[in-house]
């Protein structure tokens, strides 16, 4: 995609012709949706059937001539590719076609740059952009100058004799990458401290994970009564959003994570691993699926989410499948889903249908992991009593001359803090 000196995509009057390579039929719908999210119109498409892309030009030589004619016929001023290109593929395509060429990774990076709101999200996007551009170096000098990298040690003005501009650019990029990684390690440590405080509080944590546009943010709003922004755009939610909600008197924390996508570039998974740690550390992952999607596409999206969860080390976390948007399905389709995915909960974040079933399923998962305790808590331990009410939700209590007798089910991680109050017969433990 045509780039401005600072590396951003120039959206005005962009008309893209989308292309892809696959041994069989290839659906470019998702690439078109990515371009729409980036503000680019699509004027045509072309797919070449072959086992793998040409290592030098992506398309074969003969197909490349057809593509050049198609670009002219469609009045396109841009070619968008449904894969990540090697630098030489990108360069050779642009030389052959006479128009800018952008690959899938660069489009996603541009969308991420637009949607990141938190300081950490912006750092993660910048890091991913720099790592992507390091092999390409297109416009990187001006990009780094805008970021202020020239003011860092080893910046502008330190080039030695005989050092080429490209070598300087690469050195500046590596310096900036190192600085970004240091800052992200610091934010990671801060977030780990906050997560440790939440774990000490013993509040159960639930992470919403799913394909982008599966309706996770809408579901979070409905469950927690929040008003997190929702739009029909890919990757609308990049920064994790955490809200509390209650089931049977017990407080839970619910976090919405970044949406996943097929062919999510590895450097983006790595860059956003800090954000995705919210899913890694959750007591339960609710995998939200767009049940209104065509069946084959729905299963592909589910597999893409499973792959990313495995890649970030969250593949073994307890998981609950939530089939969202069932308000868009007819009765027959609902019955089919009930038969094929009997353990899934059918919900609608838009209408609220099935939310009680979702809460019951979440609660059942946690109740199975709670420890039953009988306690005698002295009256002067008001803080412990209050904490027990928060952790245990519904509990049995009886005021006695010795203190408050309590029967409760407590999260295993927090149970140790109350063992000193455990009863053995009629005596405090």
Smallest CA-to-CA distance from 65 within 42, 93, 43 is with 93
Q: Report, at the CATH architecture level, how domain 370-428 is classified.
A: 2-Layer Sandwich (3.30)
Contact 128, 184 (CB under 8 A): no
pLDDT value, residue 283: 85
pLDDT exceeds cutoff 60 at 231: no
How big, in percent rounded to 5, are the helix, strand and coil portions of the chain?
45, 20, 35
pLDDT exceeds cutoff 90 at 64: yes
Give 54's strand partners.
58
- Give the pairing of strands 15-22 and 78-81: parallel
pLDDT exceeds cutoff 70 at 1: no
Give 399's strand partners.
404
Contact 58, 21 (CB under 8 A): yes
Region 182-197: mean pLDDT is 74
Region 83-104: mean pLDDT is 93
pLDDT exceeds cutoff 50 at 238: yes
pLDDT value, residue 314: 80
CA dist 304 and 243 (Å) reads: 26
* Topology, domain 203-367: Rossmann fold (3.40.50)
pLDDT value, residue 7: 42
pLDDT exceeds cutoff 60 at 158: no
Region 205-214: mean pLDDT is 89
Global pTM? Answer: 0.71
Least confident of 135-149, 289-303, 337-351, 399-413: 135-149
pLDDT value, residue 109: 87
pLDDT value, residue 48: 95
pLDDT value, residue 142: 42
For residue range 297-354, list pLDDT tens digits in order. Answer: 999 999 989 988 888 778 888 899 999 999 999 999 999 999 999 999 999 999 999 9
- Provide the residue ranges of all domains of the chain, joining segments of one domain with +: 15-109, 116-188, 203-367, 370-428
- 290 phi/psi in degrees, rounded to 5: -80, 100
Least confident of 45-59, 126-140, 271-285: 271-285
Region 280-304: mean pLDDT is 91
- 289 phi/psi in degrees, rounded to 5: -120, 140
425 — pLDDT class (breaks 50, 70, 90)? very low
Contact 222, 286 (CB under 8 A): no
pLDDT exceeds cutoff 70 at 279: no
pLDDT value, residue 25: 87
User: Who wins on pLDDT, 427 or 176?
Assistant: 176
For residue range 2-22, list pLDDT tens digits in order. Answer: 444 444 444 447 899 999 999
Number of CB atoms found within 10 A of residue 154's CB: 15
Region 259-278: mean pLDDT is 70
pLDDT exceeds cutoff 60 at 196: yes
Region 55-61: mean pLDDT is 94
Angle at 348 between CA 346 and CA 352, to 5 degrees: 115
Q: Report, at the CATH architecture level, how domain 15-109 is classified.
A: 3-Layer(aba) Sandwich (3.40)
CA dist 47 and 198 (Å) reads: 50
Mean of pLDDT over the chain: 82
Which of 70-74, 162-166, 203-207, 307-311 has maximum average pLDDT? 70-74
pLDDT exceeds cutoff 50 at 181: yes
Q: Strand ranges (DSSP E) for 295-369?
A: 319-324, 345-346
CA dist 120 and 258 (Å) reads: 13
Contact 83, 53 (CB under 8 A): yes
pLDDT exceeds cutoff 60 at 147: no
Least confident of 59-68, 278-287, 346-355, 361-370: 278-287
pLDDT exceeds cutoff 80 at 296: yes
Contact 216, 285 (CB under 8 A): no
Domains 203-367 and 370-428 share a fold: no
3-class state of residue 386 by DSSP: helix
DSSP code of residue 86: P
Say how many Å lie between the first and final Cα of the chain, rounded. Answer: 69
Tokens matching residue 17: 């012709």
């Amino acid at each position: 995609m045509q780039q401005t000196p600072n590396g951003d995509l120039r959206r005005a009057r962009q008309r893209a012709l989308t292309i892809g390579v696959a041994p069989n039929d290839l659906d470019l719908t998702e690439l078109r949706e990515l371009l729409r999210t980036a503000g680019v119109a699509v004027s045509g498409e072309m797919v070449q059937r072959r086992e793998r892309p040409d290592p030098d030009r992506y398309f074969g030589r003969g197909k490349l001539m057809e593509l050049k004619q198609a670009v002219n016929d469609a009045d396109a001023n841009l070619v968008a590719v449904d894969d990540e290109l090697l630098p030489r593929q990108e360069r050779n395509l642009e030389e052959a076609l006479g128009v800018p060429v952008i690959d899938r990774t660069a489009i996603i990076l541009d969308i991420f740059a637009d949607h990141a709101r938190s300081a950490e999200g912006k750092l993660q996007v910048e890091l991913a952009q720099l790592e992507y551009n390091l092999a390409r170096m297109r416009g990187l000098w001006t990009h780094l100058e805008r970021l202020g990298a020239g003011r860092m040690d080893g910046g502008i003005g330190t080039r030695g004799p005989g050092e080429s501009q490209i070598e300087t650019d690469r050195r500046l990029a590596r310096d900036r990458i190192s600085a970004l990684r240091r800052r992200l390690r610091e934010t990671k440590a801060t977030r780990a401290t906050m997560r440790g405080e939440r774990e000490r509080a013993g509040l159960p944590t639930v992470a919403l994970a799913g394909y982008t546009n599966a309706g996770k943010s809408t579901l979070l709003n409905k469950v927690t009564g929040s008003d997190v922004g929702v739009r029909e755009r890919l990757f609308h939610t990049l920064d994790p959003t955490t809200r509390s909600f209650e089931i049977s008197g017990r407080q839970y924390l619910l976090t919405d994570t970044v949406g996943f996508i097929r062919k999510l570039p590895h450097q983006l998974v790595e860059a956003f691993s800090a954000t995705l740690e919210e899913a890694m550390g959750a007591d339960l992952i609710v995998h939200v699926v767009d049940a209104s999607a065509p069946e084959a596409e729905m299963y592909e999206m589910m597999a893409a989410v499973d792959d990313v969860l495995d890649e970030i080390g969250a593949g073994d976390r307890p998981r609950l499948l939530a089939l969202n948007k069932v308000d868009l399905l007819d009765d027959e389709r609902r019955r089919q889903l009930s038969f094929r995915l009997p353990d899934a909960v059918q919900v609608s974040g838009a209408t609220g249908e099935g939310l009680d079933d979702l809460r019951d399923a979440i609660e059942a998962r946690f109740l199975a992991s709670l420890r039953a305790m009988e306690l005698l808590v002295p009256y002067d331990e008001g803080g412990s009593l209050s904490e027990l009410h928060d952790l245990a939700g519904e509990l049995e209590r009886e005021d006695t001359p010795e203190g408050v007798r309590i029967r409760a089910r407590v999260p295993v991680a927090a149970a140790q803090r109350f063992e000193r109050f455990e009863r053995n017969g009629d005596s405090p433990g």
